[in-house]
Amino acid sequence: MDAVVAAPRALLGRTIVGPASVRIRDGRIVEVTTGEAPPGAEVLSDGLLTPGLVDVQVNGAVGVDFAEVDADSMRFVAEALPSTGVTRFLPTLITAPVDVVLRQARAVLAASAALPDGVGARPLGVHLEGPFLSPKRAGVHDPSFMIEPGPDQISALLEDDTLRRALRMVTLAPEQPGGLEAVRRLVEAGVLVAVGHSDATGEQTRAAADAGARMVTHLFNAQRPLGHREPGVPGVALVDERFTLGLIADLAHVGPDVCRLVFNAAGERVALVTDAVAAAGMPPGRYHLGGADVLLTEEGVPRSPEGTIAGSALTLDRAVRNIVSVGVPMADALASATIVPAEVIGESGLGRLAPGAVADLVWWDDNLRPKKVWVDGQVVFDAEVRTTPVSAGYATAGQ
C-alpha cells in the first residue's frame, strides 16, 4: 500500500517549493506533486521536507572508529546518524599499510552487510583516504605509511574479491610517481578518484582531472594552498568545473568567509562532508582515528596529541546550518549535502525527491534540526519518541 508524506515546503532539485507531497511504494518514490495534500497523506504541520543527507567522508562517529569496526559498532553508528539527517554514508579509512587497509576494508564491508534491513542509515561501500598521499601534506596521517601508487599497489585494491565492487572512492596525491596512471586505472574500474593530501601544483591538479579525477577531498586542508600566481589544488578546483569540492564546514577547518567564498565561486559543485571521527556526537575525551589517539576538548575540534587537527566532530546537519549562517541560501546548502554528494559517487537514486529515487526523507523543523527521518520509506528516527541521545556514545569517553 502506498504511503504519502505531505509538507508545507519541500526541496525539489535545488529549489524549495510548497506545499508538496511525496508518494512512496516499496521503498521508492513513485510520485511528487505540489499543491494540496491528497487524501490519506501524513501531513507534516510545519518545517521542510528534503531528501536524506549523504556523507561521503566519515571516519567514524559516536565513539566508533571505522578502522576498528565490527557488526555491533557499525549498527550503533547506523542507528545514530539519522538523528543528524544522514541516511547514506561512505565509511572512510585513513592511511595504513596496504595489507592493513585491505583488512580494515573487509571488516567495514562485513559489518555493513550484517546490518538488518530497516535499521538506520545505510553504508555505501568504502572510501580509502590513503595510503597514496603526499608526506608533504600529511595532516594527521602517518607519513611513514604513505607509498607511491604503483601498479602492484593499485592491483592489490582492484583485484581483491571483497573490495572490488564496494570500493567507491580513493583519495590520492596525483603528483606522486605513478599517480596519473593510478587515477586512470581506478577510474576505468568505476572508482571515484579525489585529489587530497596533495602538494600538486595547479598544472598537476588539472592533469589529474584530465586523467579522470572528479573530486577534491576537504578543499584547502592538507593541500598546496591557493596563491595568486600558483593556484595550487584549491585554485584549480574552484575554476575547473570537472571537480566536485568536498568541504568540511565546521568553520574551523575552513573559516566562515572562505566557506562563503567557495559557495560564491562554485556553489553548485560543493559537497559538504563531515570528515567525522569517533569523537563526533561525543563529549570531550580521548578517541581513535585509524587506531591512533585523538583528543576532543571543549573547543570541539579533535586533535592529535601533538595538536594537529584530526578530522572533525562535525555532524552533517550542523554543517548545513553553519553554511546557512554564513549567508548561503538554504536550498543551496541543502543541495550540497544531498544531490551533489549523491551525484559525484554515481548514485542517481539518492539525494533527491523525484520519481524512481530511494525514499530517504528528512523532515526539518524551522531551525533546520531533523524531526523525523525515513530510509527506504521506513521511519528510522523520530525526535518525539527518541530516548537515547547521540552523545551517549558507543564507548565511554577516555576508554
pLDDT digits (tens, 9 = 90+) for 170-225: 999 999 999 999 999 999 999 999 999 999 999 999 999 999 999 999 999 999 99
Instruction: Answer yes or no: is pLDDT of 398 > 60.
Output: no
pLDDT digits (tens, 9 = 90+) for 6-38: 999 999 999 999 899 999 999 999 999 999 999
pTM: 0.95
Q: Given a cut of 90, is residue 347 above it in pLDDT?
A: yes
Q: Does 140 count as an annotated binding residue?
A: yes
Q: Residue range 132-155: average pLDDT? A: 96
Neighbour count for residue 294 (Cβ, 10 Å): 26
Give the model's confidence band at 1: pLDDT under 50 very low, under 70 low, under 90 confident, else very high: confident
- Which DSSP category does 120 fall into? S
127 known member of a binding site? no
Determine if residue 337 is labeled as part of a ligand binding site.
Answer: no
Q: Where in the chain is the domain with CATH 2.30.40.10?
A: 3-49+355-385
Q: Read off the pLDDT band of 397 (50, 70, 90).
A: very low
Give pLDDT tens digits for 224-251. Answer: 999 999 999 999 999 999 999 999 999 9
Rounded to whole angstroms, the maximal C-alpha distance in the chain is 63
d(CA 358, CA 24): 9
Right CATH number for 3-49+355-385 from 3.40.50.1100, 2.30.40.10, 3.30.9.10, 3.90.25.10? Answer: 2.30.40.10
Q: What band does 110 get if pLDDT is binned at 50, 70 and 90?
A: very high
Average pLDDT estimate for 317-331: 98
Overall fold of domain 52-344? TIM Barrel (3.20.20)
Any binding-site annotation on 229? yes
Q: Is the pLDDT of residue 315 over 70?
A: yes
Please indicate if the annotation marks 60 as binding a ligand. no
* Per-residue pLDDT at 386: 65
Percentage of residues of the chain with pLDDT beyond 70: 96
Whether 275 is a known active-site residue: answer yes
* Tens digits of residue pLDDT in 359-396: 999 999 999 999 999 999 999 999 998 644 454 455 43
DSSP calls for 17-37: E-SEEEEEETTEEEEEEESSP
Every domain range in the chain assigned CATH 3.20.20.140: 52-344
Task: Report CA dihedral (164, 166, 169, 174) to the nearest 10 degrees.
Answer: -10
Give one DSSP letter per residue of 207-253, joined into a string: HHHHHT--EESSTTTTBPPP-SSS-HHHHHHHH-TT-EEEEE-SSSS
Residue 129 annotated in ligand binding:
yes
Measure the CA angle with vertex 373, ends 167 and 280; round to 5°: 60
Given 65, 275, 317, 360, the catalytic residue: 275
Q: Is 141 annotated as a binding residue?
A: no
Average per-residue pLDDT for the chain: 95
Percent of the chain with pLDDT over 90: 93
- With bands split at pLDDT 50, 70 and 90, how would you rate the model's confidence at 291? confident
